[in-house]
Amino acid sequence: MLVQKLVYDTDINFISEIYELRIILKKKDINIGIVESVEQDNHIVKLLCDDDCYNEKIKDIIDLYMSNVLYKIVIKEYKNREMFDYITENYFFLKQDEIIEVEEKIMKILLLESFTETENYVYYMNKINNIIEKIKEFLEENSEININGFIRFRMKELKSNIERVIDKVIENYMVEKEYKEFVKLLKYFVDIQESKIEEIDIFINEGGKYIIKNKAGKDIFNEFMKEIADTEIDTEAKMEDIIISGLITNAPRKVKIYGKDNCMNKEFLETIINVFEDRVELG
């Protein structure tokens, strides 16, 4: 019985994935046949299954696997045809080397090779799963697919999700870039001035509150406050800004941090570590 017929031109090659599918199914005691042929410039692959063992469950497994295969083809085709234009039109301020860098990040995420930005994992997977589900719906409705035609006529309804992923990756890239520039500037301020204090100790209690002391154990947070005119502590984030400012102003030779696991703002700690580097000790 014919399960699926795939037609594609020589610019697309995914036959190795088809044979991998047969290996996967064989481990589940499901045997399928693969018949390849060439007509003019088109490759044709037919997936066959014995009538005796064929059922809707097998069809669903094949459709799910093939939808993931076609998804990767769609992503690569979009990258080759449209991604650069989309990025340059919508993010014209990016330099050439930055475009190359973000394209690499985008492709790793879209091809499920890397999720370095774990806080956006759910967002990315929702968009990717939406694309795969649309492809799977098409496979369920059609036993014969011209892959080049599918890409040509269906790309429009798939690319909105692709481009939302691109937008999110570039948004995170710009935030990270601004953060690195911010840290670089703070490091510059620390490096050009003499240390006003030998050591500053930061204690973080179980509630995430901060206590700032000098080497002798004296609370010096109020001194930080005096160094910032007209400042009021209205939120915990504001307090963290004051601590960072106090550290930069005093440029201590050593910063000791106790109770780092209690910190509710990991970026705050990362900023101190990135700016003061080997001056930092974690207690």
Sign of CA dihedral 57, 58, 59, 61: positive
Continuous segment of H or E residues that includes residue 144: strand 144-146
Look at residue 117 in the predicted model and tell me its pLDDT.
Answer: 56
Look at residue 280 in the predicted model and tell me its pLDDT.
Answer: 95
Look at residue 56 in the predicted model and tell me its pLDDT.
Answer: 83
Look at residue 235 in the predicted model and tell me its pLDDT.
Answer: 44
Per-residue tens of pLDDT for the chain, all 283 residues: 888 888 888 677 778 888 888 888 888 778 888 898 888 778 888 888 877 777 888 888 888 988 999 999 999 999 999 999 999 999 999 999 999 999 999 999 999 887 655 678 889 999 999 999 999 999 888 888 898 888 888 898 899 999 999 999 999 999 999 999 999 999 999 999 899 999 999 999 998 999 999 999 999 988 888 877 554 544 444 889 899 999 999 999 999 999 999 999 989 999 999 999 999 999 7
